[in-house]
Amino acid sequence: MPLRAGFTRFYQDTYNRVLLYAQHRVGNLATAEDISADTYRIAWQKYTEGAEPTLTWVLVIARNVIGNEYRRQAREHARIEHFAALLDLEASDDEAELLSVRLAVAQLSPSERELVYLTYWEDLPASTVAEVLDCMPGTIWVRLSRIRTKLRAALAPAASPHPGDGGVHG
Amino acid sequence: MADLDDLIRRADPYANRRDAPLSARARADLRRILRGQSTDGASSPRQRRPMITLATVAAALCTLVVALIASGVLSPQQGVAYAATPELLEPRPVDIPAHDLLLELAALASTRPEAAPVNIVEYSSWSAQLDVGPDGPTQFIQPQDVRTEWRDDLSGSIVVVAGEAYPARGAHGFHDSAPEPPGTVLSEESFLPGQYPLLFRSEPPTTAAEMRSYLLQASDVTGDEVSAADLYRAIQGLLTQRLPTPAQESSILEVLAEQPDITVAGDVTDRDGRPGIAFRASSTNGQVELEYLLVVSPDGQILSLETIYQGGDSAFALPVPAVLEYTIWRRNES
């Protein structure tokens, strides 16, 4: 059964990326798992209809699932829990530094946070980020440049000197 | 202190899960999906993560919540206010097939005096601010003037300054003090050798066949799946980092000439007042409908590219149609 085998392979290769994508946006693991399940259910249907599965393609599906199913829910508790999840630290040698970064990220606008998640926390190249966000790669770089400037300012007492940092992969 | 990019990456609260094996829930969901069964997670009790693990974090969280409520981020859903967008371009229809017109422009581009590749690019960039704040949308459009430069050792810089603001579509002016003063440096980054985020590492080719592969190398689209939108996206990424030679630009236009889903929108004056011909492409991800206009000068220079929202996602605080973003390239040659 090549169709099922192909989808299974795709699922195994991309599931954690999709789960992380969902969890960065909704915080709660169980909710993120539900979103992932819905995403792959849609992906399987499209795959059987001939769609070519790629990471970008399934992330766009996930983005639509999150938008459709969770946009209208009361977000107050979800947001607070989400921000709490951002602050919930695993064991780390530099907890205070990472906490500062997470707080700074949490205070960005929603679209800026989206860009940080996709670029840094989901580790996607600019071309994929552009495709997921329906915008152009050059726009991504300009936005990221401004976001990094904001984050440097927010982290100023502990940030590295300006010349010499940077270097996001392409 | 580690550099900023590394710091941001390490701040991911779930970074240690990227390479984890598939969970029992994930494996069970896959089985259900392949059998056409419901994937409701009723069999897995929902586990709530601990809210706070550090006493000091609790205090910081309270402070953050208060700050976010005050800033409106956590406020109850407000009425939708449309984001500011510029006037739409108004192409005047031209009755020539896109294939023929693009080949003609490619031929004209190849007649321009050949020049060495340039790794300094200046362009104006604007994108819709979809996060409408508590004070409502702005009444002006303020593009950003970008100058990118990189060297063979992949050191370089990106400087973004505030451009000249102008009234948004439907606005009748704005307070002079509202936008940033033109020329204000909004961000300025320097990259050490090896760190410049170059999308296309090798020199662009000068044949259409090679150029098509070259443009698509940065995306995961292959073969028959390639759309005009994919090519437009790749071209924008390329031209925001490299200024093509006439031969390279000619091959780009030849690639577009062979793309069946490009149509001629018509003669147009771009946002810098330059005459050109707009070529239209469309895309949809199943939710959002987008249209793209690539404007090419009469002598085969790519002048600008813009994205127009055509509907489909109710979360977009935009009327239909509305410009979502644009890039205007500025070159010293004319």
Instruction: For residue A124, list chain B residues with Cβ-Cβ distance below 8 A.
Output: none
Please tell me if residue B44 touches chain A, with a CB cutoff of 8 Å.
yes
Instruction: For residue B201, list chain A residues with Cβ-Cβ distance below 8 A.
Output: 170
pLDDT band at B136 (very low <50, low <70, confident <90, very high): low
CA distance B74 to chain A (A): 6
Q: What's the mean pLDDT in B25-46?
A: 75
Q: What's the mean pLDDT in B205-233?
A: 86
Q: Output the CA–CA distances (angstroms, integers) from residue B2 to A103, A156, A164, B189, B311, in the order listed.
A: 17, 13, 11, 16, 43
- Alpha-carbon distance B102 to B104, whole Å? 5
CA distance B195 to chain A (A): 4
- Alpha-carbon distance A2 to A146, whole Å? 46
Cβ contact B225–A52 (<8 Å)? yes
Is residue A107 over pLDDT 60? yes
Cβ contact A167–B73 (<8 Å)? no
Residues 6+ apart with CB under 8 A from A133: A114, A115, A118, A140
* Strand pairing class (B156-162; B140-141): unpaired
More confident residue, B248 or A97: B248
Residue type, B290: L
Is residue B167 over pLDDT 60? yes
Q: How far is CA B74 from the centre of its chain?
A: 28
Nearest-Cα residue of chain A relative to residue B199: A170
Count the residues in chain A: 170
Instruction: For residue B49, list chain A residues with Cβ-Cβ distance below 8 A.
Output: 27-29, 81, 85, 88
Q: Is the interface score ipTM higher than 0.85?
A: no
Please tell me if residue B29 touches chain A, with a CB cutoff of 8 Å.
yes
Report pLDDT for B135.
64
Cβ contact A88–B234 (<8 Å)? no
pTM passes above 0.90: no
- Comparing A40-44, A84-88, A154-158, B136-140, the range with the smallest average pLDDT is A84-88
Which of B123, B147, B187 best probes binding to A when mutated, by most A CB atoms within 10 angstroms? B187
